[in-house]
């Protein structure tokens, strides 16, 4: 994941100071990209330890169309709690848009079903994608996340908003557009989640995992993460682990955490940092 570390160095060296919604302040650059061939290992960051359980369970939660933190909390994941209402609601965020995009006739469309169908039956299509940027439900930035939820909007607008897929010579590659990238905390999780989803779709559609490409818009480091980033950049990257999927469920929605095994993951120690709320 040397390209990821290069991005952090790029932001430190070339970033401009910008304000942000949280009031924390950032160093920011615009329009970056990195890529990783999944045959070289699973892109779980090694210069600090990541919580693989959170990555897996959050993705399963999205795929289940869930938008309440209850299931996440029951499964050891608390990363969404700061933005939820007292009842755990987050409004129509990722899972709702992925699996139940509202239509004009009052129905819904499952974008994940569409992607799976295309990969199986029309793999040369240039329209194999899904996204979560539903303008009607974007939050009002002048209101709290909780008040937006009570008004029927998303608690937060999607950051990882567009996923596109490409099949060539039996290999499935994926590209993710992230409009706003918390490059120290969020980006390593987004990249690993993209890789995990690619492995799952490849298994379901009888393909081999190919390459992941991550494109970031506003790529930033929060002002209270700068020392942590400098610590991380002093560390030498280690060998990447391998992902094994222990069974093939009947569909993309039927995986559980126990289906995934990471082997050979021996990262440097975790680096704590506050989340900008």
Show binding-site residues.
21, 51, 126-127, 179-182, 190, 220-222, 276
Q: CA 78, CA 41: separation in Å to the nearest integer? A: 27
The catalytic residue positions are 159
Task: Answer for the pair 193, 155: CB distance below 8 angstroms, yes or no.
Answer: no
**Residue 105, both tokens:** 């006739």
Give the 3-state DSSP-derived string for the chain, with helices as H, strands as E and coil as C: CHHHHHHHHHHHHHCEEECCCCCCCEEEEEEEEEEEEHHHCCCCCCCCCCCHHHHHHHHHHHHCCCCECHHHHHCCCCCCHHHCCCCCECCCCHHHHHHCEECCCCCEECHHHHHHHHHHHCCCCCCCEEECCCHHHCCCCCCCHHHHHHCCCCCCCCCEEEEEEEEECCEEEEEEEEEEEECCCHHHHHHHHHHHHHHHHHHHCCCEEEEEEEEEEEEEEEHHHHHHHHHHHCCCCCCCCEEEECCCCCCCCCCCHHHEEEECCCCCCCCCCCCCC
């Amino acid at each position: 994941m040397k390209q990821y570390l290069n991005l952090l160095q790029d932001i430190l060296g070339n970033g401009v100071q910008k304000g942000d919604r949280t009031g924390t302040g950032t160093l920011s650059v615009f329009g970056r990209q990195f890529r990783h061939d999944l045959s070289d290992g699973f892109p779980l960051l090694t210069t600090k330890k990541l919580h693989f359980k959170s990555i897996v369970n959050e993705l399963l939660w999205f795929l289940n169309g869930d938008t309440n933190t209850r299931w996440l909390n029951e499964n050891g994941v608390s990363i969404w709690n700061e933005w939820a209402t007292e009842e755990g609601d987050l409004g129509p965020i990722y899972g709702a848009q992925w699996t139940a995009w509202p239509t004009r006739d009052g129905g819904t469309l499952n974008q994940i079903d569409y992607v799976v169908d295309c990969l199986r039956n029309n793999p040369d299509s240039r329209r194999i994608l899904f996204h979560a940027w539903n303008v009607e439900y974007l939050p009002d930035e002048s209101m709290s996340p909780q008040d937006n939820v009570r008004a029927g909007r998303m608690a937060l607008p999607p950051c990882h908003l567009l996923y596109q897929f490409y099949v060539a010579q039996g290999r499935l590659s994926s590209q993710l557009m992230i409009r706003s990238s918390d490059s120290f905390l969020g980006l390593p999780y987004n990249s690993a989640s993209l890789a995990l989803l690619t492995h799952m779709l490849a298994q379901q559609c009888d393909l081999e995992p190919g390459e992941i490409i991550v494109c970031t818009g506003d790529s930033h480091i929060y002002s209270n993460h700068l020392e942590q980033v400098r610590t991380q950049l002093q560390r030498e990257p280690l060998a990447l682990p391998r992902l094994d999927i222990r069974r093939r469920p009947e569909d993309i929605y039927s995986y559980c955490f126990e289906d995934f095994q990471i082997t050979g993951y021996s990262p440097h120690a975790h680096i704590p940092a506050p989340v900008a709320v």
